[in-house]
Amino acid sequence: MLHDWANLFEITGAAGAQLIGLVFVAVTLGVGLSAPQAADGIRAFMTPTLVNFGSVLFLAVLMLAPWPSVKPLGCVLIVGAAAGLAYRLSAVLLKRKLDFIDLNPLDWTAYNGAPLLASVSTIAGGVGFVLDNPLAPFAIAAASVLLLCGGIYGAWDITVWMIRNRGKT
């Protein structure tokens, strides 16, 4: 069932890994930010962006592993996505508390909607694997793409914000 999906998950996994590295480069731009702004911004925006890219990498590793059956894969995906969903909800609450940044609807969609939908899609894909549904890989592929898109938007937005606020105290 998963053999035909290898190329997609090789590409998304590699993209996720490379983007993690680029986010660390972007972090160096934030050196001039004040400590409270930097700490809150990292917790609310940088960490979830890294979690997006890390999740893409993790999904690729899981999907490319030589599982004897897709049922254990489904169980791992369900547990991991449930934990991811809990993390995403806590990240949404943290972002709502910040007073130094104003998010427009597109920002909220990219930062919160895409990752939440990806977690739900991963849970659905995991359940699909447990039930031997042939559409399950589509749900995991959709989750991977949503996480990549949300992460790319987040990384770009964070980088631009850091450049604009560099040196401000």
Amino acid 32: pLDDT: 60
Q: Are 157 and 65 in contact (CB under 8 A)?
A: no
Residue with tokens 């909220």: 108
Number of folded domains in the chain?
Answer: 1
Q: Considering only CA atoms, which of 90, 102, 12 is closest in space to residue 48?
A: 90
Amino acid 156: pLDDT: 86
169 located within any domain: no
Residue 2 main-chain phi, psi, to 5 deg: -95, -10
Amino acid 117: pLDDT: 96
36 located within any domain: yes
79 located within any domain: yes
Q: Is the pLDDT of residue 39 over 90?
A: no
105-159 pLDDT tens trace = 777 788 889 999 999 999 999 999 999 999 999 999 999 999 999 999 988 887 7
Q: Are 132 and 100 in contact (CB under 8 A)?
A: no
101 located within any domain: yes
Q: Which domain holds residue 130?
A: 3-164
